[in-house]
Structure 1
Amino acid sequence: MHTLEQLQSGALTGTTHLKLSCGLTHFPMEILQLADTLEVLDLSGNSLTALPQEFARLTKLRIVFLSNNPFTELPVVLGRCGHLEMIGFKACQIETVPENSIPASCRWLILTDNKITHLPASIGNCTQMQKLMLAGNRLQALPQELANCKNLELLRISANQLQQLPDWLFNLPKLAWLAFAGNPCSASNLAQHKVQTTNWNHLGIEEQLGEGASGIIYKAKVKPETNPILPEEVAVKVFKGSVTSDGLPEDEINASLVAGAHPNLVETLAILTGHPEKKQGLVMGLIPEGFSNLGGPPSFSTITRDTFPPGTTFTLPHVLTIARGIASVLVHLQAKGVLHGDVYAHNTLVNKHGNPLFGDFGAATVFDNTKAPLAVNLERVEVRAFGCLLDDLLQHLAPVPAEDSQTVKALKSLRDQCLQTDLIQRPSFLEIETSLTDI
């Protein structure tokens, strides 16, 4: 974090990254003095409502974050910033997105948790767009022009007012990660079984285990006299707020319950009640020791693809075990009418044997799987995500002996089938599971 005093004194001359959060009500014009070098600007958490026209002089700027500022309109001047690739205006008060306010160079746009009712037709000019985050708005429809965004891979439109998904959505050749829960066009049925609940006061919260976009996960001990059904130790996920980058906590809870049990799924045990701050939460099975994340989340540079530490390798037996386990989970979820929406290595845990545990339903959508065309289309979107995961595994495959070359060839062929740009030509998860069994 930098200070306004540093900026005004010239101490930040030549910097490429600038972050200021100090109650700003007006854009500091001294930032323009960094135009020759500034690439990343973060002015989140201030009180800004507008940007000056001179903002376009920041010609080196690639990434800008202006979240948690009371903007009511996306600044038109952004459209004149020809090198902007990532734009973040999360949790502002934006109602209007003017025509030509989104530069054609934009690859990652975050407008989560605003009050947007319409998107401009000019968004169709953003043909490099790969990631579009629109959860928690008031959209009733998506503009037809968005169909021009052929590079779009991840779309978050949960918690809006969409009456239906447009047909052209399934013609986007690279769409792989889709979330649309919390709309009239998504199912909202809760799991058809009695839901176990556990009171916060019946849990002894211990250390924090992890943190994601939607919540914080803790290890906890269950007081045995309060709930004899639950295991002695559990994991507790406490949701941070009402809207996440993927959607609403209640939709994640719903999807987790509908998903039910599977050997390769992190088990959901109960809904949390009685939190002192009235936050929502889930009680889940504690991950056994020896499991770790298969990969890391995407970076600013990879945008939609997971990251892996340098030197990461997977043996062929591990690749097969992971792929078979995740394919089995996805067959199960499809049968339940659950689109996971976030099939990624960073949502997959593995042990030393390669056995996977899959979880995190933050982007999941419950849908009516009796509607055959919709069910097939949604499945084939998710199949592409599985293809990306399989590609990640193969990209990090350790050298194999000559006698295993045909197995590797078969895996690459299956990956290519999953990644086909014509959605309907991709295999189903049942076909994928069968293929992996036969390899």
Structure 2
Amino acid sequence: MIVVHDGLNSPRGHDGTGDAGENRSPFPDKYLMRNTRILRASNAQIREVPMEVLEAAQREMVNIVSLDDNLLREVPKDLNLLAEHLTQLTLNLNQISYIPTNISQYSKLWVLNLSGNLLCDLPMELGGLQLLRELDISHNRFQRLPTCIYELKCLESLSAHDNRIKGIDASEKGLGGLRELHNLNLSNNDIQVVPPVLGNMRKLENLGLWGNPFRQPRHQILSMGTQAVLSYLRTRIPI
């Protein structure tokens, strides 16, 4: 757990000790960012990130940004200052309703957490994140999986539970084309039909389908685990 210290111009010591002043900042100081390469400010009622904070993070070569559980309505405008080094971006539990097209600049991202926002779509440019391994878009307002996701060929984990998704594209142009996908969570959506070809995704180790209104596979099969579900689905693929 990273402890959040005072701001960039804090009179406190390099170790973050000392009395709290009137200008207490929710952001870590440059020394903490230098030592951890992390810009973290969680549950701090933040509505924006000052440019000077991001400029300092750029100088300290920060590669992890975690701004979860705040009041952000958009991705911080100057976050692209960190695009060259950023590998993990956590923006869950905010009020973000859109992702800008310049998300493609963050080409080194491995982990992107957008859960618990107000999203209903993602830009096609997000498909340019060819190193992305983990994507979490759960607890949003998606009625379908954005097609840009099918371009993420290195994706290993996709969490899209607790949305309003109505269907699954498991074809080669959809989820079936994600050869490295190990974890897929589509629980608590509005999925009416589970396509049998989903059973061909043999690398799946964890498949979440609970809480959807489909009739097949039955709960008895779901309770037997992922491999049992995939085997059942393969038996239903038309010959």
Contact 2:97–2:117 at 8 Å: present in 1 too?
yes
Tell me which of 57, 70, 95 is aligned to 2:105. 57
The count of aligned residue pairs is 180
CA contact (8 A) 1:95 1:117 kept: yes
**Letter of the aligned partner of 1:116 in structure 2?**
I
Pairing 1:143-222 to 2, within 5 Å after superposition = 143-144=195-196, 146-165=198-217, 185-186=218-219
The structure whose Rg is larger is 1
Alpha-carbon distance in structure 1 between the residues aligned to 2:144 and 2:154: 20
State the distance in 2 between where 1:32 and 1:137 align.
33
Runs of 5+ unmatched residues, structure 1: 166-184, 188-336, 343-376, 382-439
In the alignment, is the contact (CA less than 8 A) between 2:194 and 2:216 conserved in 1?
no
49, 57, 60: which one pairs with 1:12?
57
1:84 corresponds to which of 129, 132, 135 = 132
Aligned residue type for 2:167: H
The superposition leaves residues 291-326 of structure 1 with CA deviations (integer Å, 9 ceiling, x where unpaired) of xxxxxxxxxxxxxxxxxxxxxxxxxxxxxxxxxxxx
2:158 aligned counterpart, secondary structure:
strand
User: What is the identity, as a one-letter code, of the residue corresponding to 2:63?
Assistant: T
Deviation at residue 100 of structure 1 after TM alignment: 3.6
CA contact (8 A) 2:160 2:186 kept: yes
Alpha-carbon distance in 1 for matches of 2:75, 2:96? 7
Match in the other structure for 2:24: none
Letter of the structure 2 residue corresponding to residue 108 of structure 1? S
Q: Residue in 1 aligned with 2:166?
A: 117
**2:207 counterpart SS class:** strand
Matched, 1:136 2:183: no
SS in 2 for 1:12: helix
More strand by share: 1
Residue 306 of structure 1 aligns with which residue? none
Alignment CA distance shift 1:93-1:41 (3 Å): same
Once the two structures are TM-superposed, the CA of residue 75 in structure 1 deviates from its matched residue by 4.0
Cα distance in 1 between the residues matched to 2:192 and 2:98: 26
**Any residues of structure 2 matched to 1:3-402 within 5 Å, and which?**
4-5=49-50, 8-13=53-58, 14-21=61-68, 22-102=70-150, 103-120=152-169, 121=171, 122-144=174-196, 146-165=198-217, 185-186=218-219, 339=223, 341=225, 378=228
Distance 1:58 1:145 in 2: 33
Aligned-partner Cα distance in 2 for 1:380–1:87: 22
- 1:304 corresponding residue in structure 2: none
Question: Per the alignment, in what secondary structure is the counterpart of residue 10 of structure 1?
Answer: helix
Q: Contact 1:63/1:84 (CA < 8 Å) preserved in 2? A: yes
Instruction: Say if 1:104 and 1:126, in contact at 8 Å, map to a contact too.
Output: yes
Question: Could you say which residue in structure 1 is the equivalent of 2:235?
Answer: none
What is the DSSP-based 3-state SS (H/G/I as helix, E as strand, rest coil) of the residue aligned with 1:29?
coil
**Distance between the aligned counterparts of 2:114 and 2:180, measured in 1?**
21
**What TM-score, normalized by structure 2, do the two folds share?**
0.66
Q: For residues 130 and 15 of structure 1, what CA distance do their matches in structure 2 show?
A: 29
Between structures 1 and 2, the one with greater helix share: 1
What TM-score does the superposition give when structure 1 sets the normalisation length?
0.38
Structure-2 change in CA distance of 1:61 and 1:69 (3 Å): same
| Cα root mean square deviation, aligned | 2.8
Change (3 A) 1:32 1:158: same
Q: What SS is found at the alignment partner of 2:149? A: coil
Question: What letter matches 2:186 in structure 1?
Answer: L
User: What stretches of structure 2 of length at least 5 have no aligned partner?
Assistant: 1-39, 232-239
Structure 1 residues 88, 79: closer, same or farther in 2, change over 3 A?
same
